A = this chain, B = another copy of it.
Amino acid sequence: MQLDEIDKKLLRLLQEDAKQTSKELSHKLALSVTAVYERVRKLENSGVISRYVALLNKQKIAKDFMVLCHVKLTQHKKEYIQQFEREVMDLQEVTECFHVSGDYDYILKICVRDMEDYRHFMLSKLTSLQHIASTHSSFMIAEVKNTLTILV
């Protein structure tokens, strides 16, 4: 789908606050409510906008102890990779998991309550996964930037 400057501005606005009404958006974009509505629908139908979600304050729910964990597998067999990825999908503490090039195979972002919970997660969940050769945990001192807004 071809995006013009109005679409791009609309996407920026919706990525920051999806609860704005079409009327508010229409003012910011200098368009009518209907025009905004049709642009949004088009962006949704074409798949550019994939979905709308609520974001939680991790501190308020005590899940703000975060760790980036580097994982190396024993072998790069397709079977091992698939099994590891399937198992990681089911770990609710793992909010992100990236298969990467370089010294390690995977980088995981883990959100738990505190160090004690992380220890428990490591011992009883992560290291019980199959085919892991080694792990290396980097504790998060600060979440300097975490924007979901991608500037088109």
The 8 Å CB contact of A144, one of B56, B88, B101, B143, is B88
Q: A126 to chain B: closest CB distance in Å? A: 14
A55 to B15, CA, bound (A): 6
A36 contacts chain B at the CB level, 8 A cutoff: no
A46 — nearest CB in chain B belongs to which residue? Answer: B60
From A99, A103, A111, name the one whose CB has the most chain B CB atoms within 10 angstroms: A99
Question: How many residues of A are in contact with the other chain, CB < 8 A?
Answer: 62
Question: A53 and B17: CB pair below 8 A?
Answer: yes
A98-B141, A99-B143 are known contacts; what are 18 more A-B pairs with Cβ within 8 Å?
A11-B54, A14-B54, A15-B53, A15-B54, A48-B57, A49-B55, A49-B56, A52-B52, A61-B152, A63-B150, A63-B152, A88-B144, A89-B144, A95-B146, A96-B145, A97-B144, A97-B145, A102-B136
